């Protein structure tokens, strides 16, 4: 699994929680892939789009029938986050495979966001 993660990350220009916060303020789509239990326990990031991991590719394929309005094209800036920044790397690499050339993930995930003191809602 370590080699799979390393391979995924080698393709990404990952961002810190602070950078993700700043990019979201400029229009990047911040996507929270944590499950409902994690969100209930730890809270959510205001303005983040919740798309659980098993739906991500379906929702962000710009040509798919199940796409979200935020799936505006293959150049959309999508920043994926999970709880600690592992699964999000694999998810972001999957979005790259789908053709979303500006997809990436957030280093450290939600826990890094919280540790940075960035906004969280219950």
pLDDT digit string, tens, across residues 31-64 = 999 999 999 999 999 999 999 999 999 999 999 9
CA 12 to CA 66: how far, in whole Å? 25
Query: Could you tell me whether strands 78-81 and 49-50 are parallel, antiparallel, or unpaired per DSSP bridges?
Result: unpaired
pLDDT in tens, 71-97: 999 999 999 999 999 999 999 999 999
User: What's the angle, vertex CA 22, arms to CA 16 and CA 28, rounded to 5?
Assistant: 95
Q: What percent of the chain has pLDDT over 70?
A: 100
Report the mean per-residue pLDDT for the chain.
97
The whole-number pLDDT of residue 1 equals 80
Q: Which residue has the higher pLDDT, 1 or 101?
A: 101
Predicted model pTM: 0.96
């Amino acid at each position: 699994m370590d080699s799979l993660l390393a391979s995924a990350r080698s393709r990404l220009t990952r961002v810190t929680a602070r950078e993700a916060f700043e990019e979201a303020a400029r229009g990047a789509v911040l996507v929270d892939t944590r499950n409902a239990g994690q969100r209930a326990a730890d809270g959510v990031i205001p303005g983040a789009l919740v798309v659980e991991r098993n739906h991500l590719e379906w929702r962000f394929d710009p040509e798919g029938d199940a796409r979200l309005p935020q799936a505006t094209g293959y150049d959309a800036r999508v920043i994926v986050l999970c709880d600690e920044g592992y699964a999000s790397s694999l998810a972001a690499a999957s979005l790259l495979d789908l053709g979303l050339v500006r997809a990436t993930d957030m280093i450290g995930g939600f826990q890094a966001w919280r540790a940075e003191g960035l906004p969280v809602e219950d």
